[in-house]
Chain A
Amino acid sequence: MNAFNTLERRTQFVGIGFVTPTFLVIALILVYPVVQSIVLSVGQSSVDGFEPYRFVGLEHYAALMDDERFWRSLSVTLIFTAISIPLELVLGVGLALLMNESFHGKGLARLAVLFPWALPTALNALIWRWMYNADYGLFNAVGLESGIIGEPVNWLGDETLAMASMVIVSVWKTSSFMALIILAGLQSIPRDLYEAGRMDGMSRWQEFREITLPLLKGSIMVALIIRSMDALRTFELPFSLTDGGPDSATETLSLYAYKVIFEFVEFNAGSAIVVVQFAVIFLLSLLYIFTLRHKD
């Protein structure tokens, strides 16, 4: 009994030793900066510490309420998320169903679906920026030659078109990620459920509605949570595609916060934006977890 206790205590001790480095890094890189952002957002100070920190309460948040560019960036972020996520979901489910079939060249097809995900988003944005180019771009060339468009379109120069263009790049990149997660869910559905369905004379659509979709709910929720949180912090896509333009039409919350902090060098005001963004993402994750719990 005594020997067991010693082993038990030693195990706990070793365990603490093993997890300590991880928690030190997480504390330094993730937890402390977030806490510090909150502290910065309710104070006034200079980056180099020259101007001592002074508590100013909610001053920066009050200023945000009157900041049109902030509201614009918040709505850009929400609109971007609300349009791209449903599109990605539909395409992702479609792609996953496709990849779940058996056909020749499946390895190559899966690779093609995986590639857009593996590329750096910033470089994706550059690749697409070149294709959208109004003077020499691929889209105008193909569009004009096939007669789909009558004259060259300035894809990134018009407010609505720029947003649509950004959504397309995002959907291109991340539908594949959705598909991968949903595919994993598909493959865990027992085959005999479908055989039973076929015996009952179900059509393929009925199979999808009554077997596939309900059993996929878990994977779909996971994919939706991960992707929505990602979309709400979209940064390098507008950074490299449009720099937020034209006239802030694609300036996301992250991009605006970055500009306030590092271009206008307003650390405290920028921190307030960052804290608001943090709160939006946090509320969303709570909402998701709640609906997930509720439905199960």
Chain B
Amino acid sequence: MNKRPRIILYSLVGLSVVISFFPIVWLVLTSLKNTAGIYSWPVQYWPDPLTFQNYWSIFTETPELLRYVLNSFIVGVGCTVLTLSVGGLAGYALSRLRMRFAGVLMVIILSVSMFPPIALLPALFQTFLNLGLLNSFTGLILAHTGLFLPYTVWMLASYFRTLPVEIEEAARLDGMGFLRIFFSIILPLSWPGFVATGLIVFIFSWNEFPLSLVLMTQDAMRTAPVGISLYPGEFAFPWETISTATVIAIIPVLVITAIFQKQILGGLTAGSGK
């Protein structure tokens, strides 16, 4: 290739990287300014003085913001584990056991995944109120599991289909039971599929908003996106606290995305090619 297109290519790539990153960079810079620096005009581009005061304040003065992050962790991990176990079994049965109506069941699972979350809210709120599941981790984990199960079943089923059938047949001839085949043969072989799906479900759960907003009404039970969004209250917007809390709340997803970039990319795009 000659030189000019290379230059254009690199400038376009550079431009997209800059556009993707600058809001996050600006957020981090804001969190490193003191209050006077945040509310100054003309705007301070570089923090002066650069200070970690806001981070220190969060730990000492507003620990409820850390509580939100912890809540998100509990819900995210719980939802991921539950979704993978329940969805793994279903995905396996629907892809490998030659079940009757497996195709119909898969289509049903796909169609219910299109339900808008807002449509679930009135009834789910009432049901959870009656069952005592409002403001409980069990409740929100269950709700998130329901929301992300369809994706999980489809992803894992498409992963199981890539495994050779012969191994299972041999195991069956050896007299192994179904559950043992699943746990001692299928699981070890398909862990990359589980990792990719699990990471994406965790991110989905971490980012989920409407159900987390409505099913956790007590401040101490809120997840990070909801708690931080509601933190400003009615009038004042303490941007020094909000920017810092936002940095803390997005670090987990940024780290996961950075480390497991390949797995996540694979997981996101696997189903779409067909």
A positions within 8 Å CB-CB of B: 7, 11-12, 14-16, 18-19, 21-23, 25-26, 28-37, 40, 47-49, 95, 98, 101, 103, 105, 107-116, 118-128, 130-131, 135-138, 141, 145, 172, 176-177, 180-181, 183-185, 188, 218-219, 222-223, 229, 232-233, 235-236, 239-240, 253-254, 257-258, 261-262, 267, 270-271, 274-275, 277-278, 281-282, 285
Contacts and interface: CB of A to CB of B under 8 A. Distances in A.
A33 B86 contact: no
Nearest to B200: A118
B268 interface: yes
A37 B146 contact: no
Size bracket of the B interface: 35 or more
Dominant secondary structure of chain B at its interface with chain A: helix
A278 B116 contact: yes
A120 B207 contact: yes
Given A114-B264, A136-B38, 13 more contacts: A7-B172, A22-B86, A25-B145, A30-B115, A30-B120, A30-B146, A33-B119, A34-B115, A37-B122, A118-B257, A119-B254, A235-B209, A240-B229
A257 B257 contact: no
A95 B9 CA distance: 11
Contacts of B206: 120
A18 to B, nearest CB: 4
Contacts of A239: 209, 229
B126 A14 contact: no
B13 A109 contact: yes
A240 B39 CA distance: 21
Dominant secondary structure of chain A at its interface with chain B: helix
A243 to B, nearest CB: 10
B226 A15 contact: no
Given A26-B112, A185-B273, A172 B19 contact: yes
Nearest to A235: B210
14 contacts: A12-B99, A14-B97, A25-B145, A113-B20, A114-B257, A114-B265, A118-B207, A120-B209, A123-B228, A124-B23, A130-B239, A223-B272, A232-B116, A277-B119
Given A118-B253, A138-B43, A180 B229 contact: no
Interface of B: 6, 9-10, 12-13, 16-17, 19-21, 23-24, 26-27, 30, 38-43, 45, 86-87, 89-90, 92-94, 97-100, 102, 105, 109, 112-127, 129-130, 142-143, 145-147, 149-150, 153, 172, 178, 203, 206-207, 209-210, 213-214, 224-226, 228-229, 239, 242-243, 246, 249-250, 253-254, 256-258, 261, 264-265, 268-269, 272-273
A47 B129 contact: yes
A277 B265 contact: no
B228 A126 contact: yes
A56 to B, nearest CB: 16
Given A26-B112, A33-B124, A219-B272, A109 B16 contact: yes
B229 A122 contact: yes
Contacts of A18: 89-90, 92-93, 97, 178
Given A118-B257, A123-B246, A219-B272, A14 B93 contact: yes
Nearest to A141: B43
- By Cβ-Cβ distance, the 10 closest A-B pairs, closest first, are A29-B146, A36-B123, A184-B269, A18-B93, A141-B43, A33-B123, A22-B90, A236-B209, A120-B207, A15-B99
Given A33-B119, A219-B273, A257-B118, A98 B225 contact: no
B249 A21 contact: no
A115 B26 contact: no
B272 A222 contact: yes
A136 B257 CA distance: 31
B250 A112 contact: no
A274 B122 contact: yes
Contacts of A218: 273
A236 B213 CA distance: 10
B214 to A, nearest CB: 7
Nearest to A40: B122
Nearest to B83: A25
B229 A126 contact: yes
Contact of A188 (B94, B127, B273): B273
A112 B99 contact: no
B126 A47 contact: yes
B114 A29 contact: no
A47 B143 CA distance: 19
B254 A36 contact: no
Given A116-B20, A121-B209, A12 B126 contact: no
A240 B113 CA distance: 25
A29 B143 contact: yes
A15 B97 contact: yes
